[in-house]
């Protein structure tokens, strides 16, 4: 028995909505970063679901490229987060003002 594609899309939409909600609510840079990754994974789930439904490989290729971009974002983003923490001493976005010394 196969799982209908609608279930995958509902799960993907729920994960994406949860990521957007966390992005808008959280004030910690790490939590914001994790919510962005959650949104990317929700999109990946939708790509794989459609690729499986239509028996195409192109959706899985898109997932590969999204994962490459997410890995690059993680490397650069974590480096920026570490630099901000070293210079400001906090990860709260309300307390970080990069225009001040």
Is residue 9 domain-resident?
no
Q: What is the pLDDT along the chain (101 residues), one digit of tens a residue?
A: 889 999 999 999 999 999 999 999 999 999 999 999 999 999 999 999 999 999 999 999 999 999 999 999 999 999 999 998 998 889 998 888 766 65
DSSP 12-48: HHHHHHHHHHHHHH--BHHHHHHHHHHHHHHHHHHHH
- CATH number of the domain to which 78 belongs: 1.10.287.3510
pLDDT value of residue 98: 66
Range of the domain at 70: 28-92
The model's pTM is 0.89
pLDDT value of residue 101: 57
pLDDT value of residue 100: 63
Name which of 53, 95, 76, 89 is nearest 45 in CA terms.
53
Total domain count, the chain: 1
Residue with tokens 């990521």: 19
CA gyration radius, the chain: 17
């Amino acid at each position: 028995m196969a799982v209908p594609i609608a279930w995958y899309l509902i799960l993907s939409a729920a994960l994406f909505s949860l990521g957007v909600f966390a992005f808008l609510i959280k004030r910690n840079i790490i939590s914001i970063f994790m919510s962005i990754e959650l949104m990317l994974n929700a999109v990946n789930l939708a790509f794989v679901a459609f690729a499986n439904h239509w028996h195409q490989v192109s959706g899985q290729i898109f997932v590969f490229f999204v994962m490459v971009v997410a890995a690059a974002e993680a490397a650069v983003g974590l480096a920026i987060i570490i630099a901000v923490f070293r210079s400001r001493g906090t990860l709260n976005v309300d307390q970080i003002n990069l225009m001040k010394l």
